[in-house]
Amino acid sequence: QVQLVESGGGLVQPGGSLRLSCAASGTLFSINGMGWYRQTPGKQRELVATISNLGRTNYADSVKGRFTISRDNAKNTIYLQMNSLKPEDAAVYYCNAVTSVRPFWGQGTQVTVSS
């Protein structure tokens, strides 16, 4: 089992920045990669960014150049630095961990972008 706890969401003005954190615990050796997804009401959950165990990153086109995913292996934590936020970035952001058995999800953290 893998437990994921997100933090760092909140209200920010357009053009502002936020950093999300996701702390992982449990059977960490089973994790192949981690990432961030987001979801708004009535829409499917969509990929934002992923990072593999080797540090390879992947981003949705809509966030390239603005968001950065990173990891701190010593703290078993991944981060999502979000800059130049737009109203369309507002969503519940979920942390994801992929294992050979199944994916695991955090409880989500709300990001609101509004003036």
- Which residues are 24's β-sheet partners? 4
> 29-53 pLDDT, tens per residue?
888 899 999 999 999 999 999 999 8
What pLDDT tens digit does each residue of the chain (115 aa) get? 899 999 999 999 999 999 999 999 988 888 889 999 999 999 999 999 999 989 999 999 999 999 999 999 899 999 999 999 999 999 999 999 999 889 999 999 999 999 9
pLDDT at 64: 98
pLDDT at 42: 94
Neighbours of 65 (CB within 10 A): 9
- Asked if residue 20 lies in contact with residue 107, where contact means CB atoms within 8 angstroms, the answer is no
* Alpha-carbon distances of 32 from 6, 56, 79, rounded to whole Å: 19, 11, 16
- Asked if residue 4 lies in contact with residue 23, where contact means CB atoms within 8 angstroms, the answer is yes
pLDDT at 4: 96
pLDDT at 90: 98
